[in-house]
Chains A and B, each alone.
Chain A
Amino acid sequence: MFGLASFLGAIFLASAFAGLLGSLVGLGGGVLLIPLLTLGFGMDFRLAVGTSIVSVIATSSGAAAAYLRDRLTNLRLGVLLELATTLGAITGALVAPRVREGLLFVLFGLLLLLSVVPTAAKLGEEVPRGVRNDALAERLRLASSYPDPATGRSVPYQVTRVPLGMLMMYGAGVASGLLGIGSGALKVLAMDTAMRLPMKVSTATSNFMIGVTAAASAGIYFWRGEIPPLIAAPVALGVVTGAAVGARLLAQLSNRAVRGVFVPVLGLVAVEMILRGMGRM
């Protein structure tokens, strides 16, 4: 019993670290949890996915509440994009049992690299210039503004290429349901590059959607018996604790600093996951 308690304690502490880092970079925490559980604790990929998806809900709900308070979230846009992310998540969860474990490792690593490369290339664009609403954004009144905590002024912004954004969001949903991550990086990527939202709004709105996306596939994993409760409980508690600290820090950090921290760490993890996956194929 004592051995089990310290094992679960170690899982709790490691998860707290993953939650802290995850919320700082606008990810659900799953992106760090999956490597932690599979590479670090030797868990089956599928059980790691089930465990992680629950924690993703916990992290993002805590962080999303903080962003809502800071008025960084675009509620209307978030709800619209959730149509695409939830459909994608269900697709991913249903496809998952048919995908071999080695391939899941490789896909996970590739996705990590994919989220790191464009971020590294484009460090720190706080507010994109010259963005005009497209027809859908106009009709659904998606343009909004947010208060810049640094200057205290309200920053207005418009939203473009919404259909392309929704397509990318469906893909982000599939990744979430298949790999047990919030796929915040893909969501931020879609909002950053396709819809050209300010970075802080992308991060906040992404977090707002992550919990809902994860909830869409979590029920499927739960009833399939792929969420081990004795692991999922300390992982979820740890991640929430870490994320709560991270969310408080974020509003005071610049985008450049945030990205500078997460690029090298995730790059290394991605390579390790790909190597592991290729060894199992």
Chain B
Amino acid sequence: MEERIGVLLRTGVAVAGAVLVLGLAGFFLHGSQGGFLQADLLRHGTPPTLRSLAHGDPVALLPLGILLLILTPILRVAATLVLFAAERDWIFVGITAGVLGILLLGLAGVGG
């Protein structure tokens, strides 16, 4: 089971990494079709670039890859929850659910 959690972590990072590489390659080959300037991409965080993904802007792959990275450990916690449920270890199912709840608050950008 530990092996599988390890595989999940590696896969998440690999997929996110590939998306980031594609985003960087796309930016250097085509620039930003969404009209995002270098300065914006260097000096500001850009949740808005994410929206230009629908218009095929390669730059949008960068925030997408970042979000995938953030999701990876959250998925790992979800997998751990399943593991404890399979062992009928209800105390640890509760503890893991608590961690997952806190993570989802953070993912939603609570307080921002």
Residues of B within 8 A of A (CB): 2-3, 5-7, 9-10, 12-13, 16-17, 20-21, 23-24, 27-28, 38, 41-47, 49, 59, 62-63, 65-67, 69-74, 76-77, 80, 84, 91-92, 95-96, 98-99, 102-103, 105-112
Residues of A within 8 A of B (CB): 1, 4-5, 8, 47, 50, 54, 57-58, 60-62, 64-66, 68-69, 71, 73, 75-76, 79-80, 82-83, 86-87, 89-90, 93-94, 140, 211-212, 214-234, 236-237, 240
Residue in B66, B98, B106, B110 whose CB lies within 8 Å of A227: B66
Whether the pair A62, B73 counts as a contact (CB closer than 8 A) is no
Residue in A50, A66, A75, A212 whose CB lies within 8 Å of B73: A212
Complex Cα distance, B9 from A66, in Å, reads 10
Whether the pair A1, B28 counts as a contact (CB closer than 8 A) is yes
Whether the pair B41, A79 counts as a contact (CB closer than 8 A) is no
Complex Cα distance, B38 from A86, in Å, reads 33
8 examples of A-B residue contacts, CB within 8 angstroms = A54-B69, A61-B73, A65-B5, A68-B9, A212-B99, A224-B109, A233-B65, A237-B21
Whether the pair B9, A64 counts as a contact (CB closer than 8 A) is yes
A61-B76, A219-B108, A230-B41 known, 19 other contacts, Cβ within 8 Å: A5-B28, A57-B72, A57-B73, A61-B9, A61-B12, A62-B9, A66-B6, A80-B92, A86-B106, A90-B105, A216-B106, A217-B106, A218-B69, A224-B45, A228-B44, A229-B62, A230-B62, A236-B65, A237-B20
| Most central of A75, A219, A226, A237 by chain B CB within 10 Å | A219
Residues of A within 8 A of B45 (CB): 47, 50, 221-222, 224-229
Whether the pair B10, A79 counts as a contact (CB closer than 8 A) is no
Whether the pair B106, A71 counts as a contact (CB closer than 8 A) is no
A58 with B7, Cβ < 8 A, contacts A83-B102, A140-B91 known: no
Whether the pair A65, B10 counts as a contact (CB closer than 8 A) is yes
Residues of A within 8 A of B110 (CB): 90, 94, 220
Complex Cα distance, B87 from A146, in Å, reads 21
Distance (whole angstroms) from the CB of B85 to the closest CB of chain A: 13
A215 with B74, Cβ < 8 A, contacts A222-B45, A230-B62, A237-B21 known: yes
Residues of A within 8 A of B42 (CB): 228, 230-231
